[in-house]
Chain A
Amino acid sequence: MEPAFYIAGGVAVLATLLMLTRLNVVHALLYLIVSLLGVGVVFFVLGAPFAAALEAIVYAGAIMVLFLFVVMMLNIGAHAAETEKQWLTRGVWTGPGVLAGILLIEVAYLGRGSYAALGTAAIAPKEVGIALFGPYLIGVELASMLLLAGLVGAYHLGFHEAEKPEIQHDTDTHEGRADTGGDLVLAGTDRSARTP
């Protein structure tokens, strides 16, 4: 009904799709930001201005910026694009695509039903605030503790960088662990009995 809804929604989906297929990380991040902003518009259209504001400020503004910081810090370099190209062959897309597609169809089937008209009455931030201070108070406290935990964890994990020695691990042992020879059972029996 609302054209803004469909356009914003379409932009979000398209941007996500493009994000997935980029070779360059920074490009992908930028597309992600576009997608998030699109979703924010959808929120606004649906009458949830508070959510829209949050989406734009926190998600697109803080979290994506954090992503960008880290990517810049990693300093991956140009050859990363080649590696990405190597990894993203045609065949790689089929399996997950099929799986996710089936999931989509199932959930869409589950969610079929009468579509009520999208509420035009917006839910003001004031209402959300009352809900937060009322029934969801505990949730707020828990969320704050979660944030604290995340803060401490991130700080701690990021701290010891310079001190640990660099350990090289072989990265090519993709075959499974060697066969035990399977003779856990026959360990005690007469070996010659097994030879015909």
Chain B
Amino acid sequence: MLSWLWLIPALPFASAAVLMLVGARLPRRATAAVGVGSVGLSALVTILVAFSFWSAPPAGDSYTQVLWTWIRVAVFEPQIGLYLDALSLVMILVVTCVGFLIHFYSAEFMMEDPGYSRFFAYMNLFVASMITLLLGNNLLLLLLGWEGVGLCSYLLIGFWYRDPENGLAARKAFIVTRVGDSAMMLALFLLFSGLGTLQIRDLMERASQQWPSGSTYAVAAAFLLLGGAVGKSAQLPLQVWLPDAMAGPTPTSALIHAATMVTAGVYLIARTHVLFSLAPAAQTAVAVVGAATLLLAGFSALTQHDIKRILAYSTVSQIGYMFLALGVGAWQAALFHFLTHAFFKALLFLGAGVIIKSLHEEHSIFRMGGLRREMPVVFWTFLIGGCALAGLPFLTAGFFSKDLIIWETWAAQGGHPALWIAGMAGALLTALYTFRLIFRVFFGPVETPVTNRFGYAMHAPLVILAFLAVVAGYIKEPFLTFLHSALPATIDAGAGGLTETGSEAVAGALFVIGVYFAYLFHLRNRSLADALTASPVGRALHQWWFAGWGFDWIYDKAFVQPFVWMANANKSDFVDAFYTGVARLTEWFYRELSSTQTGRVRWYVTGMAAGAVLFIAMVLAL
């Protein structure tokens, strides 16, 4: 069964190809069948492979399937090889299964869109690239998948390309992640030149043998890889693209920008954890980046009014938690949070999609209200997702995963009390903004009436994901043990002063406080919220956090405008002047020489005579 591994990326690739070539001519049903079916089949194969892997683990806890050798240049021979271990298995399970649910949902969601087949082609290509990224056994193949998902992200953000705003958002996403990609490529160059291979397993072995802990090579490589991860996962300082990426269709936001692509950075760091273990500075940097990002995004989410942007900032914040976990050495905790986050964030996005479409493209939460009576299924599933996000104790998976991380920031060897405080503060913020959203959208008077209603195709995935968001928390122990075969166990530093239960209690208390304040400001007495934002301090903070802490403004002033100025200044391109100069010189010669062709016979005879004179002179001189 394990040998069917190659089907998992191959099926979506094939379906993407088919849809790109003939998709426009197929009827909607056929397109949906191909698009959704391929991912569904892929999910099925994944489940079978997982079952086989789990029941009869292969030797060394990993399975490699080499398809062919990509290039052969001297000592550089990367392969197209698939490497399956617990880490990649978990991730491809999530990608294919959640991906399948989202594809199923979008079959109905995108029904009226003229670019139906294009959408599914891009989505399938995305799933295929993501799986390539996850299953690649060498960093070059990982890079291929990395670039592929970046491309699909660009294509899907700018899906409705006729609006130039969407194109701008897509470009922004691509360019910002490109900065990260460049850092990652530099890391690859460094790793190859230092260790001579890009095969991940060999790389990790050689690194641990050849590079001592704290060596500059390891630190440089780790920081560069962090740069790449930061770009793709929208962390500080490259987080600016994700909120704008909400210009794409909601299923895209759910799949790419919530559950899967943005976690590619997490996967990268987890995969190359040996390097990070060798470079404690880089690992601390990961934790600091994670902590800073989760706070920053939390504050920004508190001020947004577009429902998707709130969820986008929430994603940035939650991935900050994952980075935080990676940074303190809690590898399995990060992956566990990834699992639960994929479920509830996809659920929230899909629910938001239903809400937006039902209210005829209304995005602002301040113009929604009272939807819990109008759309009960959506309300209950959204509530479950929101509770999972905020961390409702014991009932939702989010509580288990997030608290595990926060506990590890205290207890693990790489942990620090400051990080624990940051994590707790983030939990409070999460509860605040999540329930701000829920209270504004589902409670209170109806601001915009519901104009469209949808069928089971869009509600069934919501229910399934809600179910998963609840039960996934209960598989915490088996899950963590399962991942032990791929990732090292978290080392406990034995810092006293707090037990895990105590940490959980604090988190639970913060959850309640957050919900209460959200209730206070956004349900019981809404004018309080307005008063807060009207006060001078409140208004300043509100605007600052609304603009994402001013990062867009900084980048615009520091990078975009100088670059545009330079491009303008070089409009006539001095380098080109050399080449046109050559052409002009030739033209000048042409003009001069053509004036010697007068058409007069006597002139030509003169030429002949002069030539004869010269020729004889030459003969005489010799």
Interface of A with B (CB < 8 Å)? 95-96, 99-100, 102-103, 106-107, 109-110, 176-177, 179, 182, 184-186, 189-190, 193-194
For the complex, what is the distance from the CA of A193 to the CA of B576, rounded to whole Å?
Answer: 11
Flag if A99 contacts B610 (CB, 8 Å).
yes
Flag if A182 contacts B620 (CB, 8 Å).
no
In this complex, the member of B588, B598, B610, B613 whose beta carbon has the largest number of chain A beta carbons within 10 angstroms is B613
List, in ascending order, chain A residues with CB within 8 A of B55's CB: none
Say yes or no for B594: interface residue by CB 8 A criterion: yes
Choose one: A103, A186, A190; the contact of B612 (CB below 8 Å): A103
Flag if B587 contacts A99 (CB, 8 Å).
no
Choose one: A177, A185, A190, A194; the contact of B587 (CB below 8 Å): A185
Flag if A182 contacts B606 (CB, 8 Å).
no
| Smallest beta-carbon distance B30→chain A, Å | 45
Flag if A176 contacts B594 (CB, 8 Å).
yes
Say yes or no for B584: interface residue by CB 8 A criterion: yes
Choose one: B571, B587, B609, B617; the contact of A182 (CB below 8 Å): B587
15 more CB-based (< 8 A) A-B contacts, given A96-B606, A189-B576, A189-B580: A102-B613, A103-B612, A103-B616, A106-B613, A106-B620, A109-B620, A176-B595, A182-B584, A182-B587, A182-B588, A184-B583, A185-B583, A185-B584, A186-B580, A193-B573
Say yes or no for B162: interface residue by CB 8 A criterion: no
Flag if B606 contacts A95 (CB, 8 Å).
yes
**CB-contacts of B572-593 with A (<8 A):** 572-573, 576, 580, 583-584, 587-588, 591
List, in ascending order, chain B residues with CB within 8 A of A194's CB: 572
List, in ascending order, chain B residues with CB within 8 A of A193's CB: 571-573
| Smallest beta-carbon distance A194→chain B, Å | 7
Interface range for B: 20 to 34
Interface flags for B599-622 (1: CB within 8 Å of A; 0: not) read: 000000010011011001100100
For the complex, what is the distance from the CA of A184 to the CA of B617, rounded to whole Å?
Answer: 40
Q: Write 11 A-B pairs (CB below 8 A) sorted by A numbering.
A: A99-B609, A102-B613, A103-B613, A110-B616, A182-B591, A184-B583, A185-B580, A185-B587, A189-B580, A193-B571, A194-B572
List, in ascending order, chain B residues with CB within 8 A of A95's CB: 606
**CB-contacts of B117-169 with A (<8 A):** none
Interface of B with A (CB < 8 Å)? 571-573, 576, 580, 583-584, 587-588, 591, 594-595, 598, 606, 609-610, 612-613, 616-617, 620
List, in ascending order, chain B residues with CB within 8 A of A100's CB: 609
Flag if A103 contacts B587 (CB, 8 Å).
no
For the complex, what is the distance from the CA of A99 to the CA of B605, rounded to whole Å?
Answer: 11
Choose one: B587, B606, B609, B613; the contact of A184 (CB below 8 Å): B587
A-B CB proximity, top 5 nearest: A185-B583, A193-B572, A106-B616, A176-B595, A182-B587
For the complex, what is the distance from the CA of A136 to the CA of B595, rounded to whole Å?
Answer: 46
Q: How many A-B residue pairs have CB under 8 A?
A: 46
For the complex, what is the distance from the CA of A193 to the CA of B620, rounded to whole Å?
Answer: 55
Chain B, Cβ-Cβ closest to A100: B609
For the complex, what is the distance from the CA of A48 to the CA of B571, rounded to whole Å?
Answer: 81
List, in ascending order, chain A residues with CB within 8 A of B617's CB: 106
List, in ascending order, chain B residues with CB within 8 A of A176's CB: 594-595, 598
List, in ascending order, chain A residues with CB within 8 A of B573's CB: 193
List, in ascending order, chain A residues with CB within 8 A of B580's CB: 185-186, 189
| Smallest beta-carbon distance A179→chain B, Å | 7
| Smallest beta-carbon distance B575→chain A, Å | 13
In this complex, the member of B573, B595, B616 whose beta carbon has the largest number of chain A beta carbons within 10 angstroms is B616
Chain B, Cβ-Cβ closest to A194: B572
| Smallest beta-carbon distance A186→chain B, Å | 6
For the complex, what is the distance from the CA of A185 to the CA of B583, rounded to whole Å?
Answer: 6
| Smallest beta-carbon distance A98→chain B, Å | 10
| Smallest beta-carbon distance B222→chain A, Å | 46
Chain A, Cβ-Cβ closest to B584: A185
Given contact pairs A182-B584, A185-B580, A185-B583, A103 touches B609 in the complex (Cβ within 8 A): yes
Chain A, Cβ-Cβ closest to B596: A176
List, in ascending order, chain A residues with CB within 8 A of B588's CB: 182
Chain B, Cβ-Cβ closest to A96: B606
For the complex, what is the distance from the CA of A182 to the CA of B595, rounded to whole Å?
Answer: 14
For the complex, what is the distance from the CA of A177 to the CA of B598, rounded to whole Å?
Answer: 10
For the complex, what is the distance from the CA of A109 to the CA of B617, rounded to whole Å?
Answer: 10
Chain A, Cβ-Cβ closest to B587: A182
For the complex, what is the distance from the CA of A65 to the CA of B616, rounded to whole Å?
Answer: 36
| Smallest beta-carbon distance B566→chain A, Å | 16
For the complex, what is the distance from the CA of A177 to the CA of B594, rounded to whole Å?
Answer: 9
List, in ascending order, chain B residues with CB within 8 A of A189's CB: 576, 580
For the complex, what is the distance from the CA of A194 to the CA of B576, rounded to whole Å?
Answer: 11
Chain B, Cβ-Cβ closest to A176: B595
For the complex, what is the distance from the CA of A96 to the CA of B610, rounded to whole Å?
Answer: 9
List, in ascending order, chain B residues with CB within 8 A of A106's CB: 613, 616-617, 620
List, in ascending order, chain B residues with CB within 8 A of A186's CB: 580, 583
For the complex, what is the distance from the CA of A92 to the CA of B115, rounded to whole Å?
Answer: 81
| Smallest beta-carbon distance A39→chain B, Å | 22
Chain A, Cβ-Cβ closest to B571: A193
Flag if B571 contacts A110 (CB, 8 Å).
no
| Smallest beta-carbon distance B582→chain A, Å | 9
| Smallest beta-carbon distance B605→chain A, Å | 9
For the complex, what is the distance from the CA of A31 to the CA of B507, rounded to whole Å?
Answer: 129
List, in ascending order, chain A residues with CB within 8 A of B576's CB: 189
| Smallest beta-carbon distance A117→chain B, Å | 27
| Smallest beta-carbon distance B581→chain A, Å | 10
List, in ascending order, chain A residues with CB within 8 A of B620's CB: 106, 109-110
Chain A, Cβ-Cβ closest to B617: A106
| Smallest beta-carbon distance A31→chain B, Å | 21
Flag if B606 contacts A99 (CB, 8 Å).
yes
| Smallest beta-carbon distance A141→chain B, Å | 30
Given contact pairs A95-B606, A99-B609, A107 touches B616 in the complex (Cβ within 8 A): yes
| Smallest beta-carbon distance A137→chain B, Å | 33
| Smallest beta-carbon distance A145→chain B, Å | 27
List, in ascending order, chain B residues with CB within 8 A of A102's CB: 613
| Smallest beta-carbon distance B333→chain A, Å | 57
